[in-house]
Chains A and B, each alone.
Chain A
Amino acid sequence: MLPVLRRGISILGRDSPIIDIGGRRTFLKLGAAMAGGALFGRGAAEAGTSDAFPPQDAPWSQTLGPGIVDRPYGQPSQFVKDVIRRDVPWLTASKESSVSFTPLQDQTGIITANGLFFERYHGGRASVDPQQHRLMIHGLVDRPLLLTMEDIKRFPSVSRIHFIECPANGGMEWRAAQLNSLQFTHGMVSCAEWTGVKLSALLEEVGLKKEAKWALVEGADAAHMDRSLPIEKCLDDCLVVYGQNGEALRPEQGFPLRLIVPGWQGNVNIKWLRRIQIGDQPWFTREETSKYTELMADGRSRGFTWLIYAKSVITFPCPEKPAKGPGIYEIRGFAWSGKGRITHVDVSTDGGVNWERARLQEPVLPKALTRFTHEWRWDGKPALLQSRAVDETGFVQPTIAELRAARGVNGIYNNNSIQTWQVKADGSVFDVQLS
């Protein structure tokens, strides 16, 4: 055991005597530090004292950490264990047909970590064996096809970064400010790099008949979740993907195969994709009639409102990440549009009276989360923070009042309104709506 250890040490460029002499002592010290850290670490640090502060040598500096492949699949630090997907228990009847929310307050870049990508199931998370999974393409085509995962991976591959947003994101906020949390008001949006095959390539391979106008896309989950899509969108930029941020799709995201419909509501991005049927008219499935239609104030309803219009939200400060005393703050947030690139984002700190242009951080990609930042000198007085996105079509993100005037309050879906965060003098932040 010891010689192995010594060899390891010399690779790291340390002197072996450190371990020989101090092995037992440092181990004991670390044990004490870990127990202390778990129980008192944070309190002590906040009180301004800690064994880790200079000039002391921190406990974790005085011993070796676990070696490679201690965790063959990496995990986040134990100190960020609170950064997890969360749900609103009163929202749905069951966990199998429900939603969980991404902790956007802790998302540091445009890519959502695979373990934190929001979930939406209609029949629970399917456990699909990739060896036995098949994609069937049939209907108004010249050559119906049954493809294995191996077949699909042989087609030319592409990688694209796109957001997915459930159109019910913010759906609880139509009547009034309800949920005091960025995670719960906006956490049904996430963004990833997706790798797979262009749907157009698969449709060329089967050969579309002249009358082909619509595709029914369907999952292998318990709900056989399905939607109708116009063939123009299928041929435009849809992807059939097996990769997510450099690894296989997560089961939560449809392993082994899902559809990506860039910029369109999350619901049409069918997970566990098993079937594509080509037809000449839509199917009017339950998920595009009973659900995912928008009831207007006049009693009529809008259907096939697939596009996600431009939207943005400030992720710092926010209810989960309050301000701490006057001074300079970098206001941070995300903007996105299903119609293309975000061209700019404006930020207001006075409830929308005056606006200033925020800085967009590269990369600014079409139909992807875009990061913005804005320097704010907070004087410690109450403030009302807002962000307003504009996309490359010139569309300007509306206020909730404008949306209500156009649609009423019963639509549930497609709430892309400007979010207002009230910052109180003590720095605490609340979800509010303005008249």
Chain B
Amino acid sequence: MSSFLDRAAMRLAVIAATASLAAVAWAGETQKPGYYGYGTAPTPAQVVGWAIGVRPDGQGLPPGSGSVSKGADIYADQCAACHGTFGEGEGRYPKLAGGEGTLRAERPEPTVGSYWPFATTLFDYINRAMPFPSPHALPADDVYAITAYVLNINNIVGNDFVADLNSLPKAKMPNRDSFIWNDPRPDTSAKECMKNCADPKKIKIESTAEGKDLTPRTTGPLDEMKPK
């Protein structure tokens, strides 16, 4: 009998200890690194294989290089079908070149040349996500070459430019200094007016979606909006 009570008491103590441990974790108190000890350390090769992120200062760029002329060939083969031979874009696929001086226009054309702040991002993105239907298939030299070509058709680098881990961070992008990286919001200051907040006579419908023919059906099967 007493041994039963002892065991019960011990069990309660264990439960209490577990609960207090849990309470520590839930309270957001920090644990020492390795406290849980789950998982394994990745090998250097595993890290190199996955750590593909490239920063504007060049950190993350791999060895290798590629010229504008080599890039023109690979681009024609791998990229032009969607982006156009000179980056003009096909269909709704993104335009890569042109658009300088349009950012304040009625219809701005943000491209690599007119908009992108960093050339390193171009290498990173091609390497990370392109060519769209078969990504991660191009060796670093090819990615460098395509990067060089896209910069070239945007008049950012000359015909003899060779992209590599030293030259890319130095390529000066025209729109680089036009970005504000600290969120300036709130940039509106609406008040909680409840009565007579506006002159009813001045409230006019400025635009309506009625009759615009842009809206897919929201009943029946998916609406492909094929021209009739």
Contacts from A to B (Cβ < 8 Å)? 82, 84, 86-90, 92-94, 96-97, 103, 105, 122-123, 136, 138-139, 141-148, 151-152, 154-156, 176-181, 183-184, 200-201, 204-207, 216, 218, 222-226, 274-275, 277, 279, 281-286, 289-290, 293, 295, 297-307, 309, 319-320, 346, 350-356, 384, 388, 390, 395-399, 402-403, 406-407, 410, 414, 422, 430-435
Contact = CB atoms under 8 A, between A and B. Distances in A.
The list of the 10 closest CB pairs from A to B, nearest first, reads A207-B33, A176-B207, A93-B92, A398-B188, A180-B209, A286-B125, A431-B209, A396-B190, A151-B38, A299-B104
B191 interface: yes
A95 B87 CA distance: 22
Nearest to A356: B194
B207 A432 contact: yes
A137 B25 CA distance: 20
A145 B43 CA distance: 10
B139 interface: no
27 contacts: A136-B46, A143-B41, A151-B39, A180-B209, A180-B212, A181-B209, A205-B34, A207-B34, A281-B57, A282-B55, A283-B54, A284-B118, A285-B125, A289-B118, A290-B110, A290-B115, A300-B180, A354-B197, A355-B194, A356-B194, A402-B190, A430-B208, A433-B207, A433-B208, A434-B204, A434-B205, A435-B206
B218 interface: yes
B63 interface: no
Given A284-B121, A435-B203, 7 more contacts: A139-B51, A201-B31, A224-B128, A286-B121, A352-B198, A355-B193, A396-B192
The DSSP consensus for interface residues of chain A is loop
Given A350-B200, A432-B207, A434-B203, A86 B218 contact: yes
Contact of A302 (B25, B112, B128, B180): B180
Contacts of A414: 185
Interface stretch (B5-13, B64-72, B153-161, B220-228): B220-228
Nearest to A397: B190
Contact of A300 (B33, B178, B185): B178
B62 interface: no
A176 B220 CA distance: 27
Given A354-B195, A396-B190, A177 B215 contact: no
Given A223-B128, A286-B125, A407 B205 contact: no
B55 A283 contact: yes
Contacts of B115: 290, 295, 301
B86 interface: no
A355 B192 CA distance: 9
Contact of A435 (B41, B104, B204): B204
B125 A89 contact: no
Contacts of A300: 178-180
Contacts of B187: 406-407
A33 to B, nearest CB: 23
Contacts of B204: 434-435
A201 B93 CA distance: 41
Contact of B224 (A89, A136, A356, A433): A89
A159 B70 CA distance: 52
B117 interface: yes
Contacts of B184: 302
Interface in B49-102: 50-57, 59-60, 82, 91-94
